[in-house]
Each structure stands twice: as C-alpha cells, then as structure tokens.
Amino acid sequence: MSASSGPQPSAPTDPHSYARPTEVSVRHLALHLTVDFATQTLAGHATWQLTRSGAAATELLLDSRDLLIEEVLLGEADAGMPTDFELGPADPVLGQALRIALHPDTTAVTVRYRTAPGAAALQWLRPEQTAGTQPFLFTQSQAILARTWLPCQDSPGVRFTYEAQITVPTQLLALMSASNPQQLRPDGRYHFRMEQPIPAYLMALAVGDVQFEPLSARTGVYAEPATLPGAVDEFADLEQMVATAEEMYGPYRWERYDLLVLPPSFPFGGMENPRLTFVTPTILAGDRSLTSLVAHELAHSWSGNLVTNATWNDFWLNEGFTVYFERRIMERLYGRPYAEMLQALGHAGLLHTLADLGPTSPDTHLYLNLAGRDPDEGLTDIAYEKGDYFLLTLEQLVGRPALDTFIKEYFGSHAFQSMDTTSFIRYLRRELLDSHPGLEARLRPEAWIYGPGIPDNAPPVGSERFAAVDAAGQSWQQGTPASQLPTANWSSHEWVRFLNQLPANAGVAQLSELDATFDFTNSGNSEILAAWLPRTIAAGYTPAEEALHRFLTRVGRRKFLTPLYKELLAAPANGPARARRLYAKARPNYHTVATSTLDALLGRPTDK
C-alpha cells in the first residue's frame, strides 16, 4: 500500500490477489525456514505483523498456492493461540485464499507451513545442473509465484519489511533480497534483514555453493567458484554504473548492490531482487558486451523496486521506465552510438511483438487487462519497449533536462510506494504536461497508454553503426565474400544485427560460408548463438545441430528458448516431432516460468 498520508483515492484492486489490504494489510514479516534438498521442500513458519483499518476489519486474507498449511496462530510463533483457518477454492493460477479470522486485539498472525515439492517459484538443481558439485536452490517470485513458497499478500501494491532465519546444509551459503552474508556460517543458519518495505514479488532466496568477491565498497558479485573469476571481470564497471544511475535520478536507496550469478537454467536474463540482482550466466560473454542487462536490473532499484506498479496491469510503469533508464546509463558509460544500437535492437523486437500480437490487440496497449489470465503470459515486450518508446517520444517533445527533472522528482516523491496508471497520468499532467502549453496534444498519452500499436508521433529510431552493418550485409548478399566484410571492430550487438538481417531464405551454402569465416556455431556469446541457431534450423544446416542441442539442454532462459522451439516447430518434415523430442529431454532443466510458456507451445511431454 502507498505510504502517503491522507485518504487514498480508491486504490486499484489487484485481480491477481485474494488479499484485501485496505481492510487488513501485512506490515512486517518474520520468516523461519529450513531448506531440505532431499525432499525439495521449505518448512517453517511466517509471522506477519498487521495493520488493521478499523474495528470492522476482522479477517486477514493471504494468498497461497500449493502450500501445506499446518497450523495458524493468532500472535507470535512462541506465544500465539492456535486458531481455525479456511482455504478457499483452488484456482490453477491464483491458488487459494487463506482466510484467518482475527480477534479484536490481534496484531500478528503466524502460519506454520511447508512448500510442495513442485512449488512453482522454486527451482531445485541437482549438482550436475550447476557449475560445481553441490545442489542449488533459487526462487523466482515474479509475477505471482511468491505465494508458492510463502503465505503472503501477493500483490505488488502491498509492501512490507522482513527479517528471516534460514537454515541450510552447512556446506552451502544462503542469500536473500536483504542484508547478506559474505561467507559460510559453520552452523548453516543465516539471518537476514530487509528494512526497506518491498512487495512480495521481490522476496527471493538462493542456496548453493556460492562465494563472494567485492567489486567496490558497496558492490560485489556472488557466484559458484568456477564462475566467479569470469564474473568479477565481466562486471568490473558495476560501481560506475551505480554512480552513474545516482547522478541521473537520485540516491541508491538500498545500501548494497550485489549480483548473484545463477546456474544457466535461470529462466530470465535477470531479476531485480533488491540488494541482490539475480542474473543468468548467459551474459558472461568474456568481453563485457552484454552488461546492459545489469544496467537494466540496477535501474529497477528506482523504477519497480522504489516506485512499484500497483498491479500487473500497470507493468509498463516498471519496465518502460527501466528500459529508458537502462539505455541512458549505457549511453553515459559507453557513448551515444552504443546506446543507439541497444535502442535499435529493442525497436526491432517491438516491431516483431506487434506483428505477432496484431495491429488491434489490446495486449499492445501499455495499460493491460490481465484479469482472469496468468499475468506472466500477458507480460510481453510491449511493457518494456513500447513503454520506453513512449518516454522517448516525451523526451523528444519536452527535451532531456525537463524530462530528467520530472523522472527524478517522480522517483523521489513516490519512494517505497506503488503507482497505478491513472495516478501516473494525473501526476504527469500536474508536474509536466500542464506547464508546457500544447504538450499533451502533441504527446497524446491516452493513445499510447490505452490504444494499440505505435502512435504516429513516435520519433524515428536509427543507429549509424547498424547502418554500416546493414551495408555489409547487403554487400555480402551481392557477392562479396564474408572474409572481406569490414567486421573487425564489431561488438556482439553488431553481430546480432547482422544475423537478424540475413535473408529469410539463406541456404546451407550461405550459412556454411558465414560459419567457416566467423565460427558462429562455436560462439561463446549467447546472444550471437541465439540469433544464429534459428537460422540454422530454418535452413537445415546440420553442422550446428550439436550446438543447438547443447544450448537447449543447458540454458533455461525463456527469451532464447521460445524462438528456438518455434523455429523447430516450423521446420519442414520432422520439425514438430524433433521439437517435442528435444523438449522432453531438456524440460527437467527449465524453471516453471519457462515450462509454462513452452508447454503451451509444445504440449506437456508425457512421463515415460
């Protein structure tokens, strides 16, 4: 809930939560859990301190999904009174409402529970799925999976502080979205505190054979020992990124900023868990070329974590601002031509998504209507790239200095609060549009936010460096040998652009020439591989098959997997059969975030 004083003008209701925080809301969590790798469960208790709106507020509603609720106490864990509770009907996406009747003097509630072995937020990795010899556990709570490992008010509009005691096998380190240890504790018992209020989707836990290396006084990186040295080198600019972000939009409010490099099955590029961003190892390219992803997760420390979308329908407020901020950080650090490449790649992705969804699809509005759907399925590139494009349009109309002042003030005045789209538009009018006559008519925010596609006032997107790449691609198509193309100083972004611009009907002979010259099949850069492999599938270029199989069974990042499986399904002859065979083999390595998307695409493989 918003912490601002005075009555709230009708807080938006969250269609993805059973909670009724305007009556009883959670305020602070004390979490005690034991992590058991043998049964793949977490067990313990959660004590919630409550805020009640008045004497009539007599019931606490929590979200839960697949949790085994053992006991509910009114009060603290050691002194509470057992009480009855009721679990509502189970919805496959939303789970169940956990209803707890409160006494007039109840200020805290304790829930004893354990998670199910298949809890959707949790991914339990066997040692062979890691870079080392120990098992690994990580959580992914966004969008509404926190409720699968914690009974909570799982709505981005509800914030709470927390403390936790997590017990793990003594050879493993536990980390959370909180103050974190930097070395092993002999008793395997770790204490955490998060003193800034966060929504439930930012609850995070990771347990594994992980070590820490500082990068600056307030930044550092955690990774498996085999991965750590490369990660330290890859993220050498981290402190500079934080300092740059602060220069633009105000102080970093979360004390430390550390990274945790996960095993490759992590389903996302990164997850902005406060104080401890989780990142995929697929951005470890060896040349610091894919670190814009870190700038993105860092930017969430302002847009998302500090000022949070009130519901998932307002997701563009999290992601649009974050993409815009990310590219501004990258521009400051590496120059405008570099940032323009990122913008152009994002723009191409946006056009792709718009073509996929169709010109009139409501899913291309910035403000979404996800009621009755799994929010994760509705959260597309639109929120990110169309959201960024809206801000870019505003930048062009009002100028950077005015927009930067507005954004800095927006973050500062709504820190640790949630924001819905209607309130944002009101704020935008009051703080920016109304003081610039004619600006609103030129910006047309309603068309951007409540309408489909890209309004025609959007500025053009271009990149000089990509223009040179496109010229090289043209020249190759007209007969210039690949070895004579001017590729000497190309970054991975330029290679990705080159591959994306290849003609759709590029055949085996053409791909062979490119592969012989540039060795794409053996690239250590995941973005280049992810752009190359779909080409090889479409053309039936068999020398890349082994690399494709290795990639699909090792990497769990959904952004890469979905286009690859789509390309496999579309391949002639035995394409669909091959896609399903590969999927059945690789699926155990994927997080539920990825499998829920891929099951819809490929069908769920039957066991045995």
Report the distance separating Cα 69 and Cα 72, nearest Å. 8
CB of 302 to Zn ion, least distance (A): 12
- Judge whether 159 is annotated as a binding position: no
Of 125 and 317, the one with the shorter C-beta distance to Zn ion is: 317
The token duo for 425 is 């538009």
- Judge whether 267 is annotated as a binding position: yes
- Residue 302: name the closest of 280, 274, 262 by CA: 274
Of 322 and 393, the one with the shorter C-beta distance to Zn ion is: 322
The token duo for 272 is 């902005």
- Judge whether 479 is annotated as a binding position: no
How many other CB atoms are found less than 10 A from the CB of residue 240?
A: 15
Of 264 and 270, the one with the shorter C-beta distance to Zn ion is: 270
Name the DSSP class of 91: B
List % helix, strand, coil for the chain (3-state, nearest 5). 40, 20, 40
Would residue 384 show up in a list of annotated catalytic residues for this protein? yes
Tokens 């868990």 found at: 273
> In the Cβ-directed half-sphere of 208, how many Cα atoms lie within 13 Å?
31
- Judge whether 141 is annotated as a binding position: yes
- Judge whether 211 is annotated as a binding position: no
Choose the catalytic residue: 367, 384, 389, 565: 384
CB of 379 to Zn ion, least distance (A): 10
Report the distance separating Cα 401 and Cα 395, nearest Å. 9
Report the distance separating Cα 255 and Cα 67, nearest Å. 33
Of 228 and 293, the one with the shorter C-beta distance to Zn ion is: 293
Residues numbered 289-348 forming contacts with Zn ion, rule: CB under 5 A: 319, 322
User: Element (H or E) spanning 441, and its range?
Assistant: helix 439-443
User: Element (H or E) spanning 340, and its range?
Assistant: helix 336-357
The token duo for 484 is 């004579």
The token duo for 283 is 């951005």
CB of 131 to Zn ion, least distance (A): 25
The token duo for 575 is 């394409």
CB of 349 to Zn ion, least distance (A): 14
- Judge whether 557 is annotated as a binding position: yes
- Judge whether 142 is annotated as a binding position: yes
Report the distance separating Cα 88 and Cα 606, nearest Å. 30
Choose the catalytic residue: 18, 162, 252, 297: 297
- Residue 565: name the closest of 592, 533, 542 by CA: 533
Look at the chain and count its residues. 608
- Residue 424: name the closest of 381, 453, 387, 377 by CA: 387
CB of 79 to Zn ion, least distance (A): 42
- Judge whether 269 is annotated as a binding position: yes
- Judge whether 526 is annotated as a binding position: no
Does residue 493 sit in helix, strand or coil? helix
Would residue 331 show up in a list of annotated catalytic residues for this protein? no
- CA 40, 17, 301, 396 torsion: positive or negative? positive
CB of 304 to Zn ion, least distance (A): 7
Whether the CB-CB separation of 195 and 159 falls below 8 Å is answered with no
CB of 327 to Zn ion, least distance (A): 13
Whether the CB-CB separation of 521 and 555 falls below 8 Å is answered with no
The token duo for 474 is 């043209």
- Judge whether 140 is annotated as a binding position: yes
Of 322 and 592, the one with the shorter C-beta distance to Zn ion is: 322
- Judge whether 181 is annotated as a binding position: no
- Residue 122: name the closest of 211, 40, 223, 235 by CA: 40
- Residue 141: name the closest of 37, 63, 34 by CA: 63
The token duo for 561 is 């997997």
Number of residues that bind Zn ion (CB under 5 A): 2
Whether the CB-CB separation of 245 and 327 falls below 8 Å is answered with no
Of 190 and 316, the one with the shorter C-beta distance to Zn ion is: 316
CB of 322 to Zn ion, least distance (A): 5
Of 298 and 537, the one with the shorter C-beta distance to Zn ion is: 298
> In the Cβ-directed half-sphere of 173, how many Cα atoms lie within 13 Å?
16
Of 234 and 319, the one with the shorter C-beta distance to Zn ion is: 319
Contact footprint for Zn ion (CB under 5 A): 319, 322
Which residues are identified as catalytic? Answer: 297, 384
Which residues contribute to the annotated binding site?
A: 140-142, 267-272, 296, 300, 319, 557-559
Which residues contribute to the annotated binding site for Zn(2+)?
A: 296, 300, 319
Which residues contribute to the annotated binding site for a peptide?
A: 140-142, 267-272, 557-559
